[in-house]
Amino acid sequence: MNPASTADAPAPSPAPGSRGVSVIIPAYNYAQYLEGAVRSALGQTYRPVEVIIVDDGSTDGTPELGERLASELPGVRYVRQENAGLSAARNTGIGLAAYPFVTFLDCDDEFLPEMAATLMSEFEAQPPETALIACRTIRIDREGRLIGQKRLPALGSRAYTAAEILMKTRFPCCVVARRACFDAVGLFDPGLRSSEDRDMWIRIGVGHRIYYVDEALVRIRRHDSNMSRNTGRMRAAMRRVRQKAIAARVVPLSHVAYWLRVFAFDHFQGAWMYWDEGRALPALFHILVSMAIWPLPLDHRDLFEPPLFRLRAAGRFILHAPFRRFQHS
């Protein structure tokens, strides 16, 4: 099935005034995790919830599993399209969503049972211009065991602007959003094969209110095949997101101090990406460039980082560099 044939899986008609949530699960060759993701979405304490599995041209057992889950589990729909990337799969799901709120769950991740209820309750408490609410995550390994969590300062729940999300580089990807906001800002950019979520949150934040709930409600699985492991692709996508934000004048270029901090933090993030790949020289290069661009301290709280995070990273890189592969970028 290609994206144009999604009529084969028509959306149910929600009851008038319904405040249900459509859970969109893009799936590509992760059959071993898909059922766990689907059941975590169906296991929400909030009702009503529907689950839309969008198979983006998988070549493993995903088609058979998706069809079985849709036939056996009420509230689950399965559609298949030619491989077009995560953005396109999410866009297909948005087009099929029956309810006025949507959320996105990668097929190797899992919702905690109170995720939808917590964020939907927050929507009731927020002003009507609030279009998107994000939450914190918990990291798990391939087998679902908790991974050591980064020690961060307590941030508290609060609103965020598009400029703040652009600065952060890594704003939480786990959200519930009003489906109508996609009519206003457009769908996910299919030209982005990563950072597409951050690009979308920035675009939504330009004309709408975004709120962050400082509560961990989603289990994010980390393993060697995560897209975030591809440093080259991630860096290229991050540059593209910045270019789009510059073109949209999210923050004018005349705000020099802001943009220097953006580029400084970008190089810090790049340093860690290379370090995680075992590439010591590029990691050291980017952390030094970060500090050269903005020698003053960066606000660690607003960047979801510990105090003195760049100095600590530089010290770690220098101390442990002999044990890493010295490769040029």
Q: What does each of the 329 residues of the chain score in pLDDT, given as a tens digit? A: 444 444 345 555 554 456 899 999 999 999 999 999 999 999 999 999 999 999 999 999 999 999 999 999 999 999 999 999 999 999 999 999 999 999 999 999 999 999 999 999 999 999 999 999 999 999 988 888 888 766 655 668 999 999 999 998 667 889 999 999 999 999 999 999 888 999 999 999 999 999 999 999 999 998 765 555 678 889 999 999 999 999 999 999 999 999 999 999 999 999 999 998 889 999 999 999 999 999 999 988 878 888 899 999 999 999 887 766 544 44
Tell me the β-bridge partners of 77: 52
Is 240 domain-assigned?
no
- pLDDT for position 17: 52
Determine how many CB atoms are found less than 10 A away from the CB of residue 166.
24
Question: Nearest 5°: phi and psi at 220?
Answer: -100, 125
225/238 Cα distance (integer angstroms): 19
Is the distance from CB of 284 to CB of 317 less than 8 angstroms? yes
My answer on whether 138 and 266 are in the same domain is: no
Are 196 and 260 part of one and the same domain?
Answer: no
Same-domain status, 171 and 289: no
Residue 54 lies in a domain: yes
Asked whether residue 176 is domain-assigned, the answer is: yes
- In a shared domain, residues 261 and 203: no
Tally of structural domains, the chain: 2
- Torsions phi, psi of 271, nearest 5? -60, -45
203 shares a domain with 292: no
Q: What is the pTM of this model?
A: 0.88
Is residue 182 located within the same domain as residue 279?
no
Residue 204 lies in a domain: yes
| CB count in 10 Å sphere of residue 156 | 9
Q: What is the CA radius of gyration of the chain?
A: 20
pLDDT for the residue numbered 252: 96
Q: Rounded to an integer, what is the distance from CA 161 to the centroid of its chain?
A: 17
Same domain as 285, residue 203: no
Q: In whole angstroms, how far apart are CA 105 and each of 6, 42, 97, 291?
A: 20, 12, 14, 36
What amino acid is encoded at 19 in this protein? Answer: R
Q: How far apart are the first and last CA of the chain?
A: 40
Burial class (CB in 10 A: 0-12, 13-18, 19+), 121: middle
Task: Please check whether residues 297 and 219 belong to one and the same domain.
Answer: no
Tell me: do 150 and 291 sit in the same domain: no
Residue numbers of the domain that contains 267: 252-323
Q: Residue 171 has what pLDDT? A: 77
Q: What is the pLDDT of residue 151?
A: 62
d(CA 173, CA 328): 31
Torsion of CA 32, 37, 39, 44, to 10 degrees: 170
What is residue 329's predicted lDDT score, i.e. its pLDDT? 42
